[in-house]
Structure 1
Amino acid sequence: MPARPSRPPRTSAPPRAIRLLLRYPILDLAAVVALVAGVLALSGNGGATRWVVSGFAVIVAAYLSIGMVRGLLRRHWGIDILAVIAIVATIVVGEYWAGLVIVVMLAGGRALEDYAGRRARAELTALLARAPQFAHVLVDGTPRDLAIEEVRIGDSLVVRPGEVVPVDCVLLSAEATVDASQLTGESVPVEHAAGAQIPSGVVNLDGAISVRATQLAADSQYQRVVELVRAASESRAPLVRLADRYSVPFTAISLGLAGIAWWISGDPVRFAEVLVVATPCPLLIAAPIAFVAGVSRAARSGIIVKGGVTLEVLSRVRTAAFDKTGTLTFGSPEVVDTVVEGAGRSPDDLLRLIASVEQYSGHVLAGSIVRAAAERGLGLLAATEAAELTGRGVTARVDGHEVAVGKRAFIEGLGAHVDSPPPTDGSMAVYAAVDGRSAGHVVLADRVRPNTAETLRALAAQGVGRTIMLTGDLAATASAIAAQAGIGETRAECLPEDKVRAVASEPMRPVMMVGDGVNDAPVLAASDVGVAMGSRGATAASESADVVIMVDDLSRLVRAVTIGSQSTAIATQAIWMGIVISIALMLVAMTGVLPAIVGALLQEGVDVLTILYALRAVADRPDRRLAGLSTL
């Protein structure tokens, strides 16, 4: 066992107030300049006051102009141009105090953005903050704190009450109750018995429990979630596509109104008075904050969205494409019927006999049959001389009889005549022969998730008018599942590249692709919005997707689209609120009744109002389209 890693020594951090001062240097300098200028003004030195304030404002304008020019060279029209022109205009006409207020507004806007961003990202940062750094590993029966990177598969751990389970593990204690709300959004505690698989990231609610690690920390569920959340929290959520629709016309209107005011009045001061109320804050800050808030709100529902732009695209989705297995269905075939041929056996007798042979097979259907027998309380019979022909079937001697179990062709190849026709509804059959005579078969089918049809109807209500199933399964199986789910179109026997071509050629865009496996990774990356389903979905699918739903609940897809639509609506409303109020103030300023210094202060008020409005996207809002959706 490796030695306990030494914890890094604590370094004394500067006080919070000092950190805040260092974070906003322009705001700090503006306060110093205002103080110095105020002292000079009170001493009657008006000329020096003007030079100090004007010089500082010009330097800030020049600094902003550098970033603005760089943006123009990248063919990105920066809304900061209004602020730069307003600062220069106020200095030229002698309204230098108004210019200083604009500088404070810009610097203060960054501080407001940070505050609003921290509040909007609360759910994301909470997930990151809860990430465990150490685990209590049992060494010779004594718990020792080791860095979670040092935990190895097979290590025994102790998880104390209130602690986060550090790695994926299996429960050794008799029972445990955990809280998975931070991962799945479900507030109801989950109870586990000994032997249950417990994912990392859940919180132990009972007394101390013993577990055995089944994954390394890097491969555990919570660490993957942390990486997804870190990517989402670091996203600036640029509102490029949405904000750019308004920035150019708003700038043109503002300059036009300012020019008209100057032309009508003949006073250049009027030009500056109009521009100081042309606030760019709703475009620069408020709207992106709405998207960051939406990302955080989604995380609270167990949905990781990898950026604000994804929410905007979700709000406009018109086509939803689905993988079948594990997405629309549970992904594990179950016994749905037992058909007996001949007399002398009941369906339970036949199922017990088939399961007694299948217990010696490693085929995925064998496990489903054995599990079905156990659920019905059918004790398995002892078998001898068991032999498996890979991909065909199993033979064994059970209770004195030669029993063969497998595909229809395998049974018929042994000379047994099967009377029942093969299934045509997409289900699968496992046949049995006893002493060379057909005894019947069990029917297995992959069940459609119970809320699939309701989910698709809710998506249609949100404007997702077209649904497609893209699956590698046979056409008969795919068509049967599509009919139960209410899918509009089915494309079966698809290879991964076929799915990519299908999404690329889809005319109704944007296209949202929903899948859960490694083979879905290419099409998730190629779609306009890729959604990976399920907390235990493949890592490749999660990395390729734009949205990861952390619980096997298809209705969360509707919630993701709802959050995208509501966040986009609030962002757009914040933009229009700022534009309408700014234009109204500009029209008032054109009359000359609004001094530049008052207009600059009003502009700051508009900024605060629009940011507070944008933070509404954090709150959960009921949506009638979610009503009645059952969860798994």
Structure 2
Amino acid sequence: MRRILAALGRYPVITATVAVGIIAAALAGAGLSAWATGITTAYVSAIVVWTIIGMVRDVMRGHVGLDVLAVVAMVATLAVGETIAALIIVLMLSGGEALEDYAGRRATRELTALLDRAPQIAHVRRPGAGDETRDLPADEVAVGDELLVRPAEVVPVDGTLLSEEASFDESSLTGESMPVTRTAGETVLSGAVNGSRAIRVRALRRSADSQYQQIIALVRAAQESRAPMVRLADRFAIPFTAVSLAIAGAAWGLSGDSVRFAEVLVLATPCPLLIAAPVAFLGGISRAAKAGIIVKGGTVIEQLARARSAAFDKTGTLTQGRPVLVDVRPAPGIDPDRLLAWAASAEQYSAHVLADGIRRAASARGIAVEAADDAHEEATNGVTAVIGGRRVVVGKPAYVAALAPDTTLTALEAGHAAAYVAVDGRFAGALVLADGARPESRAVVRWLRGHGVERVTMLTGDARPTADAVAASVGVDEVHADLLPAEKVHLAAMMTPRPVLMVGDGVNDAPVLAAADIGIAMGARGATAAGDAADAVVLKDSLTKVAEAVAIGRDTLRVAYVAIWIGIALSVAAMLLATTGLVPAVIGALGQEVIDLATILYALRALRGRPFDLSDRGTTGAVDDAHAHAPAGSVPAEAE
């Protein structure tokens, strides 16, 4: 009973329409047909006025939609005395919203599941509490707190594993169905489900800064975003309205019976157009979430479907993002281990991916890092830190040379990168690292080229020799290297054909991800700044998901268009049949509900789509549209 009352309160127009219908039927049964007609007419007229007010507001905002057909149909049925048909049209319109709501909940079930699984409680052990634990809200956990995570519980915050070994289900984070094993000292992400043994974890971040909460924020943004559903339907609004009125007018003119006009128009109501696209786009968003890709709204789905150019960052995007130290080249008189110790101590304050490789190399050699008295990072250039009274600078050669004029360049093999080090204004040496291309990068680039992406380029801040080597290995033939973040933004803005897809990770990619038509962040490692700026976030550390996101966009837009055309075709066929007088207005109004149901059922196909196959080289694979992209052009080969 409670559910029924809740449903009645959720859809007041449906409730009121049914109530008016029951009252009118009771009055007609009691011989008070005039009262029944009067009440029905007054109610439908009120709905017409309310709809017209909404239409006027939309027109004042520059938006002309499909509501005019519904208004004309209701007025026409009232004018010819078909009050029951008019009431059914109102019920159909409001029922269409209810059907859309139901289908929307069905389509967004993956997003809702992510929200429902958000960790709420943490079992915290704090000094002085002995072996006892206290249950606290997850958002009250402080960095450094020791947490107990029981079997099958969700890890509440990002942390470091203190137990010797543990197994986790990270499917909600990465889409990976197989459990993963972590050992002591490794990072455990919030949202992962613990295995069969209780474990201890030390909190690395507060709840609001942890991986799962970042995903939750993205999911909420996706749910609250309005897809281009109405805009997509409105592309058909004027022609569909014109065709419907022409058929209805012709039926009236040829038959001389004004009732025919109403009988045709009850089948021209725009529910199929208004419902089909929203359901399809919500289904696409949910399908992407299930695949480990959080898409921030239907507009992004549509842009993904139309992508004509793709730009990639190099480090951590086309490459694995885990550079390995291959050589230490100290300046004369500098001990190699001392050089590595200085560099690792400074790089602990850097978020750059090369810094992680240097820190791991120092740890593997048993070299302890020292705390800095002062440290600051200049994004994309390097880091400066005061270590043991010495000013240590680590970064690009130009950045280091500006502070240490005796800096000399070191010879590098293809695919290698170097971090230069200066101490107290003198060049101390260089550390050479190698970061191999992701094994899937070449296949992803090939897939994009075979599915309508005409131009693929690399935008990177790394040196040209390294960038060229990686580009050649993955099949990218256009490279822009040694770029600052502002230069990346400039090049992305100039790139054609559009829309332009930009893929990157890390804080320094946030500006270009925000500036691109579609920004995709490789967010598996918690690059929250990039995730906030991007339109979509890949939760699994695999570039394959970028191609899959484009495939989902293409499938979703295709389903949306087909569903709309199904609705149009069925409506036009029913209208033509109604011109013969064989379809009474009441039957026509009920028949329109069948058309609504058909379009919704087809639109829900976006939940499944075609199985993704990276080996499918395609042909063009693009969704044709006259407004999809601008004429092709080019950007300069080198950044100014």
TM-score bracket for the superposition, by shorter chain length:
0.7 to 0.9
Residue 305 of structure 2 aligns with which residue? Answer: 315
Q: Distance in 2 between matches of 1:572 and 1:600?
A: 24
Query: Letter of the aligned partner of 2:581 in structure 1?
Result: G
Bigger Cα Rg:
1
- Verify: 1:186 aligned to 2:171, yes or no: no
- Matched ranges for 1:323-334 at <5 A: 323-334=313-324
Residue 545 of structure 2 aligns with which residue? Answer: 556
Query: Letter of the aligned partner of 1:65 in structure 2?
Result: I
Could you report, residue by residue, the CA deviation over 1:221-249 in whole angstroms, capped at 9, with x for unpaired residues? 11111111011012232324422221111
Contact 2:323 2:436 in 1 (8 A): yes
The count of corresponding residues between Structure 1 and Structure 2 is 573
Q: Give structure 2 stretches of 5+ with no counterpart.
A: 330-334, 348-353, 369-387, 421-428, 618-640
Contact 2:417 2:463 in 1 (8 A): no
Query: Letter of the aligned partner of 1:602 in structure 2?
Result: G
Residue 340 of structure 2 aligns with which residue? Answer: 358
- Verify: 1:236 aligned to 2:218, yes or no: no
- Verify: 1:137 aligned to 2:124, yes or no: yes
Q: CA offset at residue 195 of structure 1?
A: 1.5
* 3-state SS in 1 of match to 2:235: helix
Contact 1:279 1:606 in 2 (8 A): no
Q: Distance in 1 between matches of 2:272 and 2:441?
A: 39
- Over 6 Å off, 4+ runs: 372-375, 378-381, 386-389
Residue 483 of structure 1 aligns with which residue? Answer: 472
Q: Distance in 2 between matches of 1:625 and 1:480?
A: 23
* 3-state SS in 2 of match to 1:207: coil
* 3-state SS in 1 of match to 2:124: strand
- Verify: 1:297 aligned to 2:287, yes or no: yes
Contact 2:503 2:519 in 1 (8 A): yes
Q: CA offset at residue 522 of structure 1?
A: 1.6
Q: CA offset at residue 428 of structure 1?
A: 3.9
| From 250, 275, 283, the counterpart of 1:285 | 275
| From 576, 592, 616, the counterpart of 1:587 | 576
Q: CA offset at residue 260 of structure 1?
A: 0.9
**Larger CA deviation: 139-148 vs 450-459:** 139-148
**Larger CA deviation: 552-561 vs 239-248:** 239-248
Could you report, residue by residue, the CA deviation over 1:40-81 in whole angstroms, capped at 9, with x for unpaired residues? 222232222211222111111111111111111112112111
Aligned-pair RMSD on alpha carbons? 3.1
TM-score (norm 1): 0.84
Q: CA offset at residue 373 of structure 1?
A: 9.5
Q: CA offset at residue 15 of structure 1?
A: 2.1
| From 535, 546, 559, the counterpart of 1:546 | 535
Mark the CA change 1:64 to 1:442 in structure 2 (over 3 Å): closer, same or farther.
closer
Contact 1:459 1:558 in 2 (8 A): yes
- Verify: 1:390 aligned to 2:372, yes or no: no
Mark the CA change 1:626 to 1:556 in structure 2 (over 3 Å): closer, same or farther.
farther
- Verify: 1:423 aligned to 2:418, yes or no: no
Query: Letter of the aligned partner of 1:444 in structure 2?
Result: L
- Verify: 1:523 aligned to 2:512, yes or no: yes
Q: CA offset at residue 287 of structure 1?
A: 1.0
Mark the CA change 1:301 to 1:519 in structure 2 (over 3 Å): closer, same or farther.
same
Could you report, residue by residue, the CA deviation over 1:503-562 in whole angstroms, capped at 9, with x for unpaired residues? 111120000111112222221111111111122243221111111111221010011001
| From 114, 137, 144, the counterpart of 2:101 | 114
Contact 1:359 1:366 in 2 (8 A): no
* 3-state SS in 2 of match to 1:609: helix
Q: Give structure 1 stretches of 5+ with no counterpart.
A: 1-13, 340-352, 394-406, 432-439
**Larger CA deviation: 39-48 vs 309-318:** 39-48
Could you report, residue by residue, the CA deviation over 1:591-628 in whole angstroms, capped at 9, with x for unpaired residues? 11111111101101100111111111112531344569
TM-score (norm 2): 0.83
Residue 62 of structure 1 aligns with which residue? Answer: 49
Q: Distance in 2 between matches of 1:373 and 1:517?
A: 22
- Verify: 1:198 aligned to 2:180, yes or no: no
| From 584, 590, 600, the counterpart of 2:589 | 600
Could you report, residue by residue, the CA deviation over 1:58-112 in whole angstroms, capped at 9, with x for unpaired residues? 1111111111111111121121111111011001001111111111101111111
Could you report, residue by residue, the CA deviation over 1:310-359 in whole angstroms, capped at 9, with x for unpaired residues? 101100000001111111112332245899xxxxxxxxxxxxx9568635
Q: CA offset at residue 123 of structure 1?
A: 0.6
| From 8, 12, 21, the counterpart of 1:25 | 12
Q: CA offset at residue 129 of structure 1?
A: 0.9
- Matched ranges for 1:316-465 at <5 A: 316-335=306-325, 354=336, 358-359=340-341, 361-362=343-344, 368=357, 390-391=392-393, 422-428=411-417, 444-465=433-454
Q: Distance in 1 between matches of 2:176 and 2:2?
A: 38
Mark the CA change 1:512 to 1:392 in structure 2 (over 3 Å): closer, same or farther.
closer
- Verify: 1:73 aligned to 2:60, yes or no: yes
Residue 619 of structure 1 aligns with which residue? Answer: 608
Q: Distance in 2 between matches of 1:293 and 1:565?
A: 13
Q: Distance in 1 between matches of 2:31 and 2:14?
A: 26
Query: Letter of the aligned partner of 1:304 in structure 2?
Result: I
* 3-state SS in 2 of match to 1:514: strand
Q: Distance in 2 between matches of 1:189 and 1:599?
A: 55
Residue 90 of structure 2 aligns with which residue? Answer: 103
Contact 2:73 2:269 in 1 (8 A): no
